[in-house]
A = this chain, B = another copy of it.
Amino acid sequence: MEKLLADNDNGDALKVNVKDIIIGGNKKVIISGPCAIESYDSLFNIAKELKKMNVDILRGGAFKPRTSPYSFQGLQEEGLKIIRAVGDEVNIPVITEIMDTRDIEKAMQYTDMIQIGSRNMYNYSLLKEVGRTKMPVLLKRGMSATIKEWIYAAEYIMAEGNLNVVLCERGIRTFETYTRNTLDLNAVTVVKQKYRLPIIVDPSHGTGFRELVPKMSLAAICAGADGLEIESHINPEKAISDARQTISMDTLEKIIHDVKKFNMYFS
C-alpha cells in the first residue's frame, strides 16, 4: 500500500470540514469550551458565550483520561448526550474525546468531530477504527511522540480511508518543571512545510497555566497553525478539571481578536 503522507509529496494541502467549518483554509479555527462536561446548564451557558464571539467548535470531555482511577472520570455517555443537545440548541458543531473502540459508533451519533487524546496517539486499534468512519478526527500528539511517529499515527487513520485528520500539538514532556509541558512550535512549522495535514495548537495543555495562554496562542498562529483549541470556562477557578490552565471568556475574546488581527496583517 502506498503512503498518503510522504515527505514533500506535492499533494494538495488537505482541508477538513466539520459541518460548515473548514479547518486548513484561510480562516483560523477556534475550538473552545471546558475540559470536562459538568452539567447541561453549565455547558449551555459556556456555549452561548462562545457562540457570541464566533467560536467555531465547542469542546467538552465526556470520557476523561485521568492519571488516577480515583479522579473524576467524566459523565461518560450522559456527557455525550449533553454536548449533542447543547450543540444543537446553540447551533455550534461539537468535538469530544473517544478512548475506546467500542464507543465509536455511539460517538458518531453524538459528536461532529472525534478527538483522540495524547494518551491514545499510539492506540492503533482506535486509530484504525476511526479510520473506518468518515468522521473528522483531531489527533493530539503523544506526550513524547516524535513528529514522525505522530505523522504515522495519522497515517493509520488515513490508510483505512478517512482523510479527515487534523493534528493538534499540545506540548511535549521534558525536564522543565515550571510549565506542565513544553509547547513545541517548531513542530507546527515542520508539519506545515513537510506534510499535507492541517494542524492546530492547544496552548492550554501546552503550558499548563492560564497566564501563558494568550501569548502562546498568538505565537502558535505565527508558527503557522490553522487554529487553536483552548480550555475556557465562565468560572475558570471552579472548573472541575484543569482549572489552572483554563481561561475566562474575556481572555478568550481578547485572543480571538488578536488572532483575527494577526491574520489580517500577516496572511
Q: Which residues on A are within 8 Å of B, measured CB to CB?
A: 1, 3, 65-70, 99-102, 119-120, 122-125, 128, 143-144, 146-149, 152, 155-156, 159, 172-179, 182-190, 193, 206-207, 211-212, 215-216, 218-224, 258, 261-262, 265-266
Contact = CB atoms under 8 A, between A and B. Distances in A.
Contacts of A190: 178-179, 212
A149 B67 contact: yes
> Which 3 A-B residue pairs are closest in the complex by CB-CB distance?
A144-B144, A119-B122, A100-B125
Nearest to A121: B119
Given A69-B159, A185-B183, A177 B99 contact: no
B174 A177 contact: no
A146 B100 CA distance: 23
A interface secondary structure, majority = helix
B218 A222 contact: yes
Contact of A186 (B69, B143, B179): B179
A1 B73 CA distance: 13
B179 A182 contact: no
A185 B186 CA distance: 10
Could you say how many copies of this chain the assembly holds? 4
14 contacts: A3-B70, A69-B155, A70-B155, A99-B125, A100-B125, A119-B123, A119-B124, A123-B123, A172-B176, A182-B186, A183-B184, A186-B206, A186-B216, A189-B215
Contact of A69 (B152, B223, B258, B261): B152
A219 B203 CA distance: 13
A207 B186 CA distance: 7
A183 B3 CA distance: 30
A218 to B, nearest CB: 4
A183 B101 CA distance: 32
Given A178-B148, A219-B220, A265-B265, A99 B123 contact: yes
A176 B184 contact: yes
A82 B198 CA distance: 43
Contacts of A128: 69
A159 B68 CA distance: 10
Contacts of A266: 218, 258, 261-262
Contacts of A186: 176, 178-179, 182-183, 206-207, 212, 216
Nearest to A172: B174
A173 B149 CA distance: 13
